[in-house]
Chains A and B, each alone.
Chain A
Amino acid sequence: MQEKAKIRVLIAKPGLDSHDRGAKVVARALRDAGMEVIYTGLRQTPEQIAETALQEDVDVLGLSILSGAHKTLFPRIMNLLRKKGLTDIMVFAGGIIPEEDVAEMKKLGIEQIFGPGTTTDAIIKYVFDNVRKRD
């Protein structure tokens, strides 16, 4: 019998900060909304994140970063995703990303920045409304 396709999400923590409570809260919320969520754990390199996204064939990638290194790491991650042909993945980010950096991050291809105070409902709704099924 045909399974309705589940949304597969990768929640990743690039860089060196060890604050993952937010990432885990988002991961749990997405799971409770019926999605299959893979969490990378802490201290991931862009290479690890991109290859994991490829192997797990995810529809969505959520990047959680609180170290301020987003301007260095996000371009590398987006580049690697492109190089691996993973251009259909919805990428969003959260954590501590200053308002003045948001436009630059969006230009890289990160669709939404969910800053502190975002409700998990808002994230869930965004994913359901905007996810594209892999081709």
Chain B
Amino acid sequence: MKTEEIIKGILNGDHRSIARAITIVENEPTEGQKIITSIFPRTGRAHIIGLTGSGGAGKSTLIEKIVREYRQQNRTVGVIAVDPTSPFTGGAFLGDRIRMQELSTDESVFIRSMASRNYPGGLARATKDAVKVLDAAGKDVILVETVGAGQSEIDVMRVAQTIVVVHAPGLGDEIQAIKAGLMEIADIFVVNKADRENANKTVMDIQAILQLSNVENPWKPSVLKTVALTGEGVPELVDKLKEHRNYLEQNPGTKRALLKSIAEEELIESIKEKTAVLIIEDLRNEGKLDDLLKRILKKEIDPASAAEELLKEKLRKN
């Protein structure tokens, strides 16, 4: 498919075009950028929801039920499920979709599995662009599920407007919940597998930690209980998701600040990425990297100072 065809297809909501576009933004920076540049003005409508939490908490199963609920309300939905790439083999087993397969034939739902490709933080580098494609394609709600290591999925902030942290009772010491970042980023906490007997304790533990928080926030994160396997608690969760969306709409200052910080993160990251490509290419071609590597191995200079030296010279020339 030609790029122009793909762009037209995306704006028409065509699934094949969406699929091709996501592959291109994953693999081909130049063509990918053409697509994003064209569709960017048509983004900004979707409600983007990030879900993170430990592996085994039930995120994928929960997402399947959330999608069904939105579909009951006639909303169209996109799902991006990110799983880790093996740092040793470069391969990945993308197994989140298994829980959502019955949705495959719903024409209003688009599900895509992405491998993290060793990008840090829980998302894949191309996830933000994949979200833009789904947004421009007209999906009302986009759910992004991140790699389930549970402790450092802060990257989900940079793409989502509403962040849901999913817990399950018995996944370990509740102290897990206090680990840096997870408590602070959640707009909504979900305790899934709430049919287990220590579920109420988990809810109380989270509420207790929230009360200790010093952060001033007009939006008070709630703690909801769900049983993803049966769908219990999901309508209430979707209500809460919509409530957060409304809160953002009614507080344009908050929404603007949120969108601004998301955009700023992305801009800075793009600058870093492009700068690195340009400068490192040059340095490699000029043989400068090798020279400094020899000196580092001889312990004549440390890597950080070596980088400074290289950059000073490079920037002076320009």
* Interface, chain A (partner B; CB < 8 A): 1-3, 5-6, 8, 27-28, 30-41, 44-45, 47-48, 51-52, 54-57, 84-85, 134-135
Contacts and interface: CB of A to CB of B under 8 A. Distances in A.
Contacts, number: 94
Contacts of B94: 36-39
Nearest to B27: A5
A51 B105 contact: yes
Nearest to B281: A1
Interface string B150-161: 000000000000
A55 B111 contact: yes
Given A1-B273, A38-B113, A56-B112, 19 more contacts: A1-B277, A31-B91, A32-B89, A33-B89, A34-B91, A36-B91, A36-B92, A37-B94, A38-B95, A40-B98, A41-B98, A45-B105, A47-B105, A52-B101, A55-B19, A56-B113, A57-B20, A57-B22, A135-B1
Which of A33, A41, A55, A84 has the largest count of B CB atoms less than 10 A from its CB?
Answer: A55
B189 interface: no
Contacts of B276: 1
Given A6-B115, A34-B89, A34-B91, A48 B101 contact: yes
B104 interface: yes
Nearest to A86: B16
B170 interface: no
A65 B117 CA distance: 31
Interface in B6-28: 15-16, 18-20, 22-23, 26-28
A28 B98 CA distance: 15
A35 B101 contact: no
B40 interface: no
Interface of B: 1, 15-16, 18-20, 22-23, 26-29, 85-86, 89-95, 97-98, 101-102, 104-105, 110-113, 115, 117, 273, 276-277
Nearest to A47: B105
A12 to B, nearest CB: 10
B10 to A, nearest CB: 13
| For the complex of A and B, 6 pairs with smallest distance between CB atoms | A31-B91, A41-B98, A57-B19, A34-B90, A48-B104, A34-B91
Contact of B101 (A5, A8, A44): A44
A28 B93 contact: yes
B111 A57 contact: no
A76 B90 CA distance: 34
Contacts of A2: 27-29
A3 B27 contact: yes
Contacts of B18: 55
A31 B92 contact: yes
12 contacts: A2-B27, A6-B27, A27-B93, A34-B90, A36-B91, A37-B93, A40-B97, A40-B98, A40-B101, A54-B16, A55-B15, A55-B110
